[in-house]
Amino acid sequence: MKDKASNMPPHGQRPLRSVAWFGSADRNGFMHRSWMKNQGTPQRMFDGRPVIGICNTWSELTPCNAHFRQIAEAVKRGVLEAGGFPVEFPVMSLGETLLRPTAMLFRNLVSMDVEESIRANPIDGVVLLCGCDKTTPALVMGAASCDLPTIVVSGGAMLNGKFRGHDIGSGTNLFSMSEDVRAGRLTSNDLVEAEACMSRSSGHCMTMGTASTMASVVEALGLSLPQNAAIPAVDSRRYELAQNSGRQVVELVHKNVRISDIVDRRSFQNAVKVIAAVGGSTNAVIHLLAIAGRMEIPLSLEDFDAWGKNVPLLVDLMPSGRFLMEDFYYAGGLPAVIRELGEMLELTAKTVNGKTIGENTTDARCWNRDVIRTLEDPVQKSAGIAVLKGNLATNGAIIKPSAAAQRLLRHRGRAVVFESLEDMRARIDDPSLEVDADSVLIMRNVGLKGFPGMPEVGNMPLPRKLLEKGVRDMVRISDARMSGTAYGTVILHVSPEAAIGGPLALVQNGDIVEIDVEARRIHLAVSDGVLAQRRAALAVPEIARSGGYQQLFVDSVLQPEKGADFDFLVGRRGAGVSQNAH
């Protein structure tokens, strides 16, 4: 007869991790089970069922994730349906729209929260509820370091924005309309009217911003069920996918299929190519590098360039195109894109439903060729994120050519230098600013250590006096990041950053800056001798030590080409707990 206190699995299955908490008949087992029973948990839930953690980033301060309570309930139904024991737990939620000084400052903190919450608790498998930009990489990074059976469920995008008879997109039209206000083409009252028109349902940005890009990334990596990336947040099929994910993670636990059994270097190659095909966010570069570091899979900036260089832009979606995520789903979503890419991808890469990515998309159809184009008729022939190197970015910088003015992808102009974000904001509209349409705007000390946290300010506003003359794009260079919803000829993630003495710190007003995206070159046309003199005279200020988490960040963060993870977090540590105080 089976002991009532046992949660040993049926004969032939491996012991569950949670048995160390709930499986014994001694004092510890009594304690662990008894306290769980104060929530009304019946004894039968400890009879050998896999314990599935539902890692929830719900928060009313993260508007993109404010519907996650309902999604968690759908996941729970799936777990129960499959005979599992669902337990929901919170971690810090990162809302890009409200957090200051920048959500990126806290991505690694949340990854620590996730990793330690999984490891320290009786969890056999985990479902990650991700939405707003940093929640996806943070949760995947933390889970990857533990390496348990894992599935990602994204929250889905908002419905299309609607303003005066036209579709408007999160971020993308915010940037364009705010520039129109500065140029005198719209009033501030018009902008207020557009606020509710843009954000009219639950969900994250409905442009191909970082949230939608990272949802596409996890689907391309094989960590979510098909169609995870594109189902709108308020579509009932989002909840069906969540319930199916709850069912599937129980099967992963029974088969002991961990993240490392699914994701390999082929998976990252697919993700990089998918980013290019959908016109994904530049932020995906820094996040994928960090995830790969946690998984101990080699990945470099050079891989992004090599894998993405000849991939066409297939999805006509803002900010690189015209449509929005709702249209993308109705057109066929990511499976249709993957099928269209075909042999350009590693189709034998695995996914969480037990099929390869090729098997999952064999029957995928495209229902709207205006939204998802063919290889023969792409939006652009080559759209991968380009990696630039030269004496201005010795460790690399990136640009998203699909969102840039094509005429500026090869350019030569005089530098207009801003020492900080505050300096740029104070002087960008100064009528006396010495700037013209050919100038190259440079902002420094907005990187990982210099800001700190590397904010999304790289798409600097254009000088008002040039906007009023009809200028719509200029070359902009910084050690900052840019919102995935933004656009323009913007060179980002310049490394090493200025605050640690990177070459960007040596630029002076009037220096000639040359970029050639096709040649992957970024160059400061100043002699080596002059640069050496400037470096010898450079006084790099000591970065302020403010104490607390911010000091940990500044002391430990790696540069962007290493994924901006903390040096002590790279790698897999597994889910083992060395000691037990109970």
Q: pLDDT tens-digit profile of 53-98?
A: 999 999 999 999 999 999 999 999 999 999 999 999 999 999 999 9
What does DSSP say about strands 166-168 and 161-163: parallel, antiparallel, or unpaired? Answer: antiparallel
The pLDDT value given to residue 401 = 92
The pLDDT value given to residue 217 = 98
Q: CATH no. for residue 533?
A: 3.50.30.80
Within 13 Å and on the Cβ side, how many CA atoms surround 357?
36
pTM recorded for the entire structure: 0.95
Looking at the fold, whether 175 and 233 belong to one and the same domain comes out as no
Looking at the fold, whether 346 and 440 belong to one and the same domain comes out as no
Looking at the fold, whether 352 and 451 belong to one and the same domain comes out as no
Looking at the fold, whether 437 and 504 belong to one and the same domain comes out as yes
pLDDT digits (tens, 9 = 90+) for 140-157: 999 999 999 999 999 999
> How many residues in the chain?
582
First to last CA, the chain: 28
Q: CATH no. for residue 56?
A: 3.40.50.2300
130 within a domain of the structure (yes/no): yes
Give the chain's residues under pLDDT 50: 1-8, 10-12
103 within a domain of the structure (yes/no): yes
Looking at the fold, whether 254 and 193 belong to one and the same domain comes out as no
What contacts 79, CB < 8 A, 6 or more positions away? 52, 54, 85, 86, 127, 246, 247, 249, 250
The encoded tokens of residue 410 equal: 């090869």
526 within a domain of the structure (yes/no): yes
pLDDT digits (tens, 9 = 90+) for 292-333: 999 999 999 999 999 998 999 999 999 989 999 999 999 999
Looking at the fold, whether 414 and 505 belong to one and the same domain comes out as yes
Q: Which of 405, 482, 435, 465 is nearest to 182 (CA)?
A: 465
190 within a domain of the structure (yes/no): yes
Looking at the fold, whether 144 and 238 belong to one and the same domain comes out as yes
Looking at the fold, whether 173 and 136 belong to one and the same domain comes out as no
Range of the domain at 526: 386-542
DSSP string covering 76-141: HHHHHHTT-EEEEEE-----TTT-SS-GGGGHHHHHHHHHHHHHHS--SEEEEEE-STTHHHHHHH
289 within a domain of the structure (yes/no): yes
DSSP single-letter state for residue 352: T
Looking at the fold, whether 286 and 430 belong to one and the same domain comes out as no
Other Cβ atoms less than 10 A from the Cβ of 356: the count is: 16
When divided into structural domains, the chain yields a total of 3
Max Cα-Cα span within the chain = 88
Q: Domain boundary at 360, 376, 397, which?
A: 360
511 within a domain of the structure (yes/no): yes
Looking at the fold, whether 247 and 189 belong to one and the same domain comes out as no
373 within a domain of the structure (yes/no): no
DSSP single-letter state for residue 346: -
Looking at the fold, whether 439 and 339 belong to one and the same domain comes out as no
374 within a domain of the structure (yes/no): no
The pLDDT value given to residue 581 = 79
The pLDDT value given to residue 202 = 95
Looking at the fold, whether 355 and 454 belong to one and the same domain comes out as no
